Amino acid sequence: MNERIQKIISSLGIMSRRKVESLIAEGRITVNGTVAVLGTKADVNVDYIKLDGKLLNKTKERNIPNIYIKFYKPIEVVTTLDDPEERTSLAMFFKGLHERVYPVGRLDYLSEGLLLMTNDGNFANKVLHPSQEIPKVYRVKVKGIPEEKDLDKLRHGIRLEDGKTAPADIQRLPSASTTLNTWLDVTIHEGRKRQIRRMFTRINHPVSRLKRISIGSINLGALRPGQWQHLEAYELNKFYRDYLRKR
């Protein structure tokens, strides 16, 4: 599937999209030997994408099996493979893995929970494409006790700086709540930056803890922070069957 070159490279977790655009402007990125320009498109599984002559999508040049991993990202870890600010990145958790994997999507620095890792660019692109509308469930702790009328605003969609959100499913977890905080399970089908945090700030109940517990049919399970495991065949097959083959 053809995608803009800056989207492909940023999805590999190597650098930000803004950095990619800067390198393109400097003429340092090529696709199949031709210098890329802003607007150049490529297929991560077919084309040779290079930075300063070095191949970036390395799964193309060797017969490497596709890898699919579920990972419990701890808090205070950036969802990239390196960080110019020298914060803890994903790379330290996968040092024992022989092949390079990169994150499918993002979790912000202070959020934790399920993150998919892969070396399969086609899989990553499908999962991230907005048309898939894959449900993601987050266990959220917010300050105070939101009234139902405020939660209903989120359930029906609320206007943020970047537009109105799609309807969200929100369930209270009364057994875990107190008079000072409320725990909720929140299901959304979008992937806007810091979306859930912004949603609850909008109704004056800021998030104090946020953990993603599932992406579609893939669950965090018994993983602890910093742990990961390869997806079982049945997990991957069900995920494809339920979410990636419907379009």
Q: Looking at the structure, tell me whether residues 127 and 139 fall in a common domain.
A: no
Q: Do residue 99 and residue 221 come from a single domain?
A: yes
Cα(103)–Cα(78) distance, integer angstroms: 11
Give pLDDT, residue 59.
Answer: 56
**pLDDT at residue 218 in the model:** 98
Q: Are residues 87 and 113 in the same domain?
A: yes
Q: How far apart are CA 188 and CA 15, in angstroms?
A: 27
Amino acid at 209: R
Q: Say yes or no: 112 and 233 in one domain.
A: yes
Q: How many separate domains does the chain show?
A: 3
One domain for residues 16 and 74: no
- The per-residue pLDDT for 16 is 78
- Assess whether 185 carries a catalytic annotation: no
Q: What is the pLDDT of residue 13?
A: 67
pLDDT tens string 97-128:
878 888 998 999 999 999 999 988 888 888 98
Do 120 and 149 fall into the same domain?
A: no
Q: What is the CATH number of the domain that holds 168?
A: 3.30.70.1560
What pTM did the predictor assign? 0.76
Co-location of 40 and 102 in the same domain: no
For residues 41 and 83, state if they share a domain: no
Domain containing 84 — which CATH number? 3.30.70.580
The b/e string for 30-49 (b: 16+ C-beta within 10 A; e otherwise) is: bbeeeebeeebebbbeebeb
E strand segments, the chain: 3-4, 29-31, 34-35, 41-42, 49-51, 54-55, 68-73, 102-104, 112-118, 136-143, 159-160, 163-164, 169-172, 181-188, 207-215, 218-219, 228-230
Same domain, 56 and 86: no
Catalytic residue among 43, 108, 150, 185: 108
Q: Which three-class secondary structure state does DSSP give residue 226?
A: coil
**Do 210 and 105 fall into the same domain?**
no
The range of the structural domain enclosing residue 8 comes to 3-60
pLDDT of residue 58: 64
Query: The domain that contains 12 carries what CATH number?
Result: 3.10.290.10
**Predicted pLDDT of residue 15:** 77
Mention every residue, 6+ apart, whose C-beta is less than 8 A from residue 5.
Answer: 20, 24, 29, 31, 36, 40, 41, 42, 49
pLDDT at 233: 94
What element of type H or E holds 225?
none
Q: What are phi and psi of 21, to 5 degrees?
A: -60, -35
What residues of the chain score a pLDDT lower than 50?
247
